[in-house]
Structure 1
Amino acid sequence: MTPMPVARPTMTVEEFEEIENSAPETVRLEFINGKIEVKSVPDGNHDEIIAWLQRVCMQHRPDLWLYGERGLKVETYRKGRARPDGTLALHERFAGDAEWSEPDGVLMTVEVTSHDRDTDRRDRREKRDGYAAAGIPVCLLIDRDEGTITVYGEPEGGKYRNRASSSFGAVVALPDPVGFALETEKLKEFTD
Structure 2
Amino acid sequence: MSVEDFDELVRRAPRELRNRLEFLGGRLCVRHGPLDVDEFEELAALAPETVRLEYINGKVVVKAMPDGNHREIFVWLQEQCIQHRPDLRVYGESGVKTEAYRKGRARTDGAVARKGHFKGHGEWSASNGILMVVEITSHDRDTNQRDRIDKPIGYAAVGIPLYLLIDRDNETLVVYSEPKDSRYQQTLSHPWGTPVELPDPVGFTLDTEELKDYAD
Q: TM-score range by the shorter chain?
A: over 0.9
- Out of 111-120 and 76-85, give the one that drifted further: 76-85
Asked whether the 8 Å contact 2:177–2:185 carries over to 1, the reply is yes
User: Aligned pair 1:118/2:142, yes or no?
Assistant: yes
Structure 1 unaligned runs (5+)? Answer: 1-7
User: Aligned pair 1:164/2:207, yes or no?
Assistant: no
Aligned residues: 185
Q: Provide the TM-score with structure 2 as the length reference.
A: 0.84
- Aligned residue for 2:101, secondary structure, equals coil
Counterpart Cα distance in 1 of 2:197 and 2:68: 26
Q: How does 1:102-117 map to 2 (within 5 A)?
A: 102-117=126-141
Give me the CA root mean square deviation: 1.0
- Aligned residue for 1:83, secondary structure, equals strand
Deviation at 1:56?
Answer: 0.6
User: Aligned pair 1:135/2:159, yes or no?
Assistant: yes
User: Aligned pair 1:48/2:48, yes or no?
Assistant: no
Deviations 1:103-123 (A, max 9, x none): 000000011110011100001
Q: How does 1:81-100 map to 2 (within 5 A)?
A: 81-100=105-124
Structure 2 unaligned runs (5+)? Answer: 1-31
Counterpart Cα distance in 2 of 1:125 and 1:114: 15
For 1:36, give the aligned amino acid: V
Counterpart Cα distance in 2 of 1:103 and 1:24: 26
Counterpart Cα distance in 1 of 2:121 and 2:74: 22
Deviations 1:35-80 (A, max 9, x none): 1010000000000000110011011001100000110011133610
Deviations 1:129-181 (A, max 9, x none): 11111100000011111011110000000010001101000101100000001
Counterpart Cα distance in 1 of 2:167 and 2:34: 32
Which residue number corresponds to residue 178 of structure 1?
A: 202
Asked whether the 8 Å contact 1:173–1:182 carries over to 2, the reply is yes
Identity %: 58
Question: Where is the helix percentage greater, Structure 1 or Structure 2?
Answer: 2
Q: Provide the TM-score with structure 1 as the length reference.
A: 0.94
Runs of 4+ in 1 over 2 A off after TM superposition: none
Q: How does 1:16-31 map to 2 (within 5 A)?
A: 16-31=40-55
Which residue number corresponds to residue 57 of structure 2?
A: 33
- Aligned residue for 1:16, secondary structure, equals helix
Counterpart Cα distance in 1 of 2:107 and 2:82: 21
Asked whether the 8 Å contact 2:96–2:127 carries over to 1, the reply is yes
Asked whether the 8 Å contact 2:98–2:127 carries over to 1, the reply is yes
- Aligned residue for 1:85, secondary structure, equals strand
For 1:11, give the aligned amino acid: L
Which residue number corresponds to residue 90 of structure 2?
A: 66
Asked whether the 8 Å contact 1:34–1:78 carries over to 2, the reply is no
Which residue number corresponds to residue 154 of structure 1?
A: 178
